[in-house]
Chain A
Amino acid sequence: MILNLGPQHPATHGTLRIVVRLDGERVISADPIIGYMHRGYEKLTEFRTYPQITTLINRIDWLSSFANEVPFIAAAEQLMGIQAPPRAQYIRTTLTELSRIATFLLFLGEMGLQVGALTPAFYGFRDREHILNLIEAATGGRFHPNFNRIGGLKDDLPWGWVNDTRTAMKTVFDACDTFEDLVAGNEIFEARTRSIGIIPAELGAAYGVSGSNLRASGVNWDLRRDGKPYLVYPELDFRVWTHPDGDSYARYWVRLQETREAARMVLQLLDKMPSGPIMTKVPLIIKVPAGEVWVETENPLGQMGYYVVSRGATGPFRVKIRSASFSNVSILPWLLRGVFVADVITILGSLYFILGDIDR
């Protein structure tokens, strides 16, 4: 039997269609069909100036828009040979981690929904609200902050924001405890997720699966710590969480730990936050010198990078957007082979992709 999962299905989180061939309840083959949301950002970037592009890339992974902006701005800054002042770097890092917490809180709740538990989803939405309020207070936007500028930030933090954030982090720790009891420690949840949808570390890497999905397969690799240093992560003390199993449960568990770790990092950042300017001097019309640069960051969904080719104009010549979900989802045909239909849903949930991030 051929079953069409999607394009509009609650478990696909958007317009993703998976053509599933079934033998009874077993999946023989699964073919994801994407592109329902393809907006051609790579083409559009060639018709925009650098400052205009941040509004576009806000909409790639819309649950952590701020984190999307960072690598693109960093690419332009590297080509221009400028760097944002320390305070701007700290604020950037703080807001990146806050968007990580926001998007993971949603995941921790939604994952309960995939196994039929409605309550955690509401908890997730409720607790994320605190973080969104903070992002809104700082940037003016709940989903699309568009706050980064080449050479710094649009604005400084508002009064009282630091204290509000400290208070909100307590909510995050409480929320994580709740999810640990309610979802991760739940018998039904364990039965539905353990040993299901196992991604072997080697195959996952060859497919380009990244971020928490790869760390849940036991690969101890995090761009915040390894590789080229970016933002102020080298100055922070944090742990990279891994899980040896590589199944749906491991992916949930790793994200749960990473949410806590991100909250700890935010507290460290607030303590160390330096004073000073938030913008460096940049020309009014930004022309980026000719050259090529590849900048990648550890976004909530995984490795996100931009390969920017500039020819000295006010806009890029070519931008290759490497989004995390695209590669994470490309492993689905292999991963879904042989599982039950009901497990397809939990596997989709545990991979945690954003459609805008697949289709760009």
Chain B
Amino acid sequence: MTGTEPEAEDDAPAVEDSAVEDSAVEDSVDPHALDAGHADLLARLEAELGDAIVEHEPRFGDPVVRVRRDAWRRAAEFAKTKLDCDYLSFISAIDWNPAPREGDEDSGDTSSPVQPQEVTYGAAGSEGRFQVFAHVQSTSRHWGLTLKVDIDEQGLLAESWVPVYPGADWHERECWEMFGIAFDGHPALRHLYLPFEFEGHPLRKDFALLARVVKPWPGLVDVEPMPEEETTDEGAEAGDESE
């Protein structure tokens, strides 16, 4: 046993290194690659919607298409009837605003990820603060499509997809209560997850995470302020009172 062990150890790193290199080489996936089926999909969508398409970008094989707000439902109808996208994956929204207090290093809270404070938009950009996005798929042709629409803060309204995909009902209710974006033509926009009397829109970036308002997130909890130091932090004051 003792004779074989060093050999095995010598071999092991060599195998590991070569494998790692191999996988690193074959992995350079081009995020903008688009296969033939998707290129065709995009071309047909462009032919139908024309200038209602603001921007489009292939992303890991699925085209991301941003449409104008007045073409939101038309895009869904076209996707369902002409592009065979009969399956609704989800509808949701993004709030592009940077959060006011997110992993603030100055206050000692480094456990939370620090996001860049300037707004940088994702796959196909955005013009408003909010963006409603949805993913539809074809059960027979096996392709998918991400549709996006920009919503500005003045008119928080998008066309409802319920007449096209009945499953949009719950997704839009969730989107409405979480972001405050209303859907024109939705049969009953009422709370889905939250209690009826709940106020505010929790998934907006300016809605503070309750746990962090009540108590600063780890790191700060166990740190007692130095005696001569001014305690300005809410959490530290609360800690003093309890003592």
Query: Which A residues are within 8 Å of any B CB, using their own CB?
Result: 34-35, 38, 40, 42-44, 46-49, 78, 81-86, 202-203, 205-210, 214, 219, 221, 226-228, 275-277, 280-281, 290-294, 296, 303, 305, 307, 309, 311-318, 320, 322, 326-327, 330-331, 334, 359
Is B203 a contact of A43 with CB atoms below 8 Å?
yes
Given A35-B194, A290-B122, 15 extra CB contacts under 8 A: A35-B192, A40-B202, A43-B207, A78-B29, A82-B23, A86-B19, A202-B86, A206-B80, A206-B167, A280-B23, A312-B116, A314-B114, A322-B135, A330-B167, A334-B166
Is B114 a contact of A313 with CB atoms below 8 Å?
yes
- Which chain A residues border B20 with CB–CB below 8 Å? 85, 277, 280-281
Stretch at the interface among B55-63, B220-228, B231-239: B55-63
Task: Give the interface residue-count category, chain B.
Answer: 35 or more
Closest to A331 in B: B167
Is A228 a contact of B115 with CB atoms below 8 Å?
no
The answer for the CA separation of A18 and B64 in the assembled complex, in Å, is 37
Q: List 12 A-B contacts (CB under 8 A).
A: A35-B191, A46-B102, A47-B209, A82-B24, A86-B19, A277-B16, A280-B23, A291-B59, A292-B59, A293-B59, A315-B115, A320-B90
- Which chain B residues border A318 with CB–CB below 8 Å? 94-95
Stretch at the interface among B43-51, B138-146, B150-158: B138-146
Closest to B169 in A: A330
The total of interchain contacts (Cβ-Cβ below 8 angstroms) comes to: 167
Determine the main DSSP class of A at the interface with B. Answer: loop
Q: A35-B192, A277-B16 are in contact. Are A82 and B27 (CB under 8 A)?
A: yes
Question: How far, in Å, is A151 (CB) from chain B's closest CB?
Answer: 9
| Residues of chain B in range 100-118 having any CB-CB distance to chain A below 8 Å | 102-103, 112-116
- Which chain B residues border A48 with CB–CB below 8 Å? 112-113
Q: Does chain A have a CB within 8 A of B26?
A: yes
Cross-interface CB contact of A294 among B60, B86, B112, B193, cutoff 8 Å: B60
Is B113 a contact of A315 with CB atoms below 8 Å?
yes
Determine the main DSSP class of B at the interface with A. Answer: loop
Is B170 a contact of A277 with CB atoms below 8 Å?
no
- Which chain A residues border B78 with CB–CB below 8 Å? none
Closest to A88 in B: B23
Contact code string B61-72 (vs A, CB < 8 Å = 1, else 0): 110100000000
Q: Does chain A have a CB within 8 A of B15?
A: yes
Is B144 a contact of A276 with CB atoms below 8 Å?
no
Closest to A314 in B: B113
Is B192 a contact of A208 with CB atoms below 8 Å?
no
The answer for the CA separation of A280 and B18 in the assembled complex, in Å, is 11
Q: A206-B86, A208-B87 are in contact. Are A81 and B61 (CB under 8 A)?
A: no
Q: A85-B19, A277-B20 are in contact. Are A307 and B113 (CB under 8 A)?
A: no
The answer for the CA separation of A58 and B191 in the assembled complex, in Å, is 26
- Which chain B residues border A81 with CB–CB below 8 Å? 27-29
The answer for the CA separation of A292 and B32 in the assembled complex, in Å, is 11
- Which chain B residues border A309 with CB–CB below 8 Å? 94, 122
